[in-house]
Chains A and B, each alone.
Chain A
Amino acid sequence: MTDPLLLIDELTYAWPGEQDPVIRELSLSIAAGEKVFLAGASGSGKSTLLALIGGLVLPDQGTIDISGQSLNTLSRSARDRFRADHLGVIFQQFNLLPWLDVVGNVTLGCHFSALRRKRTGAVRSAAEALLKAMDLEQRLWHKRADQLSVGQQQRVAAARALIGQPDLVLADEPTSALDRDRRDAFLSLLFREIDRAGSALLFVSHDHELAARFDRTLELSELNGAACHAIEAGA
């Protein structure tokens, strides 16, 4: 068995100034190129988990390793660089800088990471190839991002996350703003490009209908000790 791409071990975190941890003793691992569905209702700590994996905050306890690199041992700016180098992120919506054109939004990550720029090669043509792969017509490429429909914007966001073949793509309910047909089409395009880039995907959503299309499904409420407590306390 190969080393996992993402390895989280006994992770606990509470936001500063708050007593109760949002994440308690959470462990999970994802292999390279694996597409994992992480089911979680809002408020179950998924945004916090993504912030931890992204290296924006440091765990109170436990470890996060990505590609063999422990985030805990990196300084804040080193974690920022690591995120820029190795991760792609897609949010639920409002993924794009509204005043920047589509190509500019896709290449945004390359501004902040030399490694990513190097891996991408010709940044502009890579961006255009990804946009084409995500079914975005050429006439849209130089429009301002806020002139696109929500579905188009999400596909641009996927292209941005994928540029430069990141090791891992974090997707935070990227389909929740889409209707069913668009959602399925979006997933198909995303999967195809994830496979082409060889990235792993951690896809967080509460929409269980999608789970079947992934390699593996995880329940955040089962992994997160804090969520169990919350449920027990509520019961």
Chain B
Amino acid sequence: MTLLSLARGSLANRRFAVALTVLTIAISIALLVLVEQMRSEVREGFYRSVSGTDLIVGAPTAPVQLLLYSVFGLGNATNNVSWQTYSEVIAVPSVAWSIPISLGDSHRGYRVIGTSAAFFEHYRYAGQQALALGEGAALNDLYDVVIGAQVARQLDYAVGDQIVIAHGTGNVSLQAHDDQPFTISGVLAPTGTPVDQSLYISLEAHTAVHIGWERGVQMRGRTLDPERARAMAEQLQPDSITAFFLGLTSRAAVFGLQSRINQYDGEPLLAILPGIALQELWRITGFAEQILRVVAGMVVLAGLLGMLTALISTLNERRREMAILRAAGARPWQIASLLVLEAAVVTAMGIGLGLLLAYALQVALAPWLLARFGIAVGLTWPALWQWLVLGGIWLAGILVALIPALMVYRRTLADGMQVRQ
């Protein structure tokens, strides 16, 4: 098409200004796409972690808080659940499996979770995927620890290494349970969930390291040494745990059991459906997402206005070109459509470059998200509706160009073949 080749020549002639305009649009598109991609990827990532669990039970708090500390290691529990209560709840016939967890310790910033063998057996992520050991074996000895894939990678640990866990969470000057070192017995295969960012010990070991810590600090002389602890392992059943995950025999039983747990007489409890708690979380973050969307939309608008400014600023230098084209027999609409074509090309290039930029940023941000939240962010193709939005932006770019095109149309009619002064 010859009009297109003329438009291309004209654009190539102003390649520096055009490149800046394309970049402006690309940045705005990148922001828009990135916000949407991250939103859906983060949601997907969070959902992966809880998709195999029917109920999460802990001490009463906000459902979102229970979800965040029990699954994602964000925030802390306010209270514990007694072992007695735990035993009674999991005795209900509709409970297929249960995973107790005890939180509160860490190793170099990673969470150390006390749990039972049921965790390795029953925990499911991303639908129905079970945990698998990448190397080594599950917990055998009291002082065995199984570590997540990301922990092993970041800290360069292998099976057989000895580590010491710290009392409390966080990264600064924590007191260590250094009298009872642990040995890494296994490394879990990567899951793309917070499991990768955690270390797992048995509940008994969790109890053992905390004997003598009843006041929150280590009481010298009251703590166990490893040999004595191993000897009394059967008596190390915890008095309480932080929370527990439940899998039910049928999904239909979920709501019934949830209300039974929430009305449990012996102790105040909170049972949540992780999917619903996540929905609640997204409602909270939804407002911020809306703001981000609006901001991204504004930036796109600014990008298109930048293109409009660039186009209008070329009109005077184009006046001579229009006269030449008119003399060569071009009709006014053909000359006006050159501007529209240019805008279409510029916007399309901006959208293409913006997509590339968004993906590059996503690749760059992925390690940080993985380290910070244990969320594996994959590169996915934009959804259909996103393509529609991008198509809409392309059309908007073309519509914007109708303004200078109309100016050109009028001007060519008034100018004739000559540039009238």
Q: Say whether B324 contacts A97, CB under 8 Å.
A: yes
Residue-wise interface mask of A (77-94) relative to B, using a CB-CB cutoff of 8 A (1 in contact, 0 not): 100110111010101001
Q: Say whether A91 contacts B329, CB under 8 Å.
A: no
Q: Say whether B328 contacts A112, CB under 8 Å.
A: yes
CB contacts (< 8 Å) of A172 on chain B: these are: 418
Residue-wise interface mask of B (46-78) relative to A, using a CB-CB cutoff of 8 A (1 in contact, 0 not): 000000000000000000000000000000000
Q: B321 on the interface (CB 8 Å rule)?
A: yes
Measured in the bound complex, the distance between the Cα atoms of B351 and A15 in whole Å is: 45
Measured in the bound complex, the distance between the Cα atoms of B330 and A217 in whole Å is: 31
Nearest-neighbour CB distance to chain A for B46, whole angstroms, equals 53
Q: B416 on the interface (CB 8 Å rule)?
A: yes
Q: Say whether B9 contacts A99, CB under 8 Å.
A: yes
Nearest-neighbour CB distance to chain B for A154, whole angstroms, equals 13
Q: Which of A50, A98, A113 contacts B329 (CB 8 A)?
A: A113
Q: A136 on the interface (CB 8 Å rule)?
A: no
Nearest-neighbour CB distance to chain A for B411, whole angstroms, equals 12
CB contacts (< 8 Å) of A104 on chain B: these are: 9
Chain B residue nearest in CB terms to A89: B327
CB contacts (< 8 Å) of B12 on chain A: these are: 99
Nearest-neighbour CB distance to chain B for A189, whole angstroms, equals 20
Measured in the bound complex, the distance between the Cα atoms of B2 and A100 in whole Å is: 12
Counting contact residues on chain B (CB < 8 A from A), the size range is 20 to 34
Nearest-neighbour CB distance to chain A for B44, whole angstroms, equals 48
CB contacts (< 8 Å) of A77 on chain B: these are: 331
- Known contacts A54-B417, A99-B10: does B321 contact A83 (CB below 8 Å)? no
Q: A5 on the interface (CB 8 Å rule)?
A: no
Nearest-neighbour CB distance to chain B for A228, whole angstroms, equals 23
Measured in the bound complex, the distance between the Cα atoms of B320 and A98 in whole Å is: 10
Nearest-neighbour CB distance to chain A for B296, whole angstroms, equals 35
Residue-wise interface mask of B (232-258) relative to A, using a CB-CB cutoff of 8 A (1 in contact, 0 not): 000000000000000000000000000
Q: A155 on the interface (CB 8 Å rule)?
A: no
CB contacts (< 8 Å) of B327 on chain A: these are: 54, 83, 89, 91
Q: A176 on the interface (CB 8 Å rule)?
A: no
Q: B87 on the interface (CB 8 Å rule)?
A: no
Nearest-neighbour CB distance to chain A for B421, whole angstroms, equals 11
- Known contacts A77-B331, A112-B328, A112-B334: does B417 contact A98 (CB below 8 Å)? no
6 A-B contacts, Cβ less than 8 Å apart? A47-B416, A57-B416, A91-B324, A91-B327, A111-B2, A112-B329
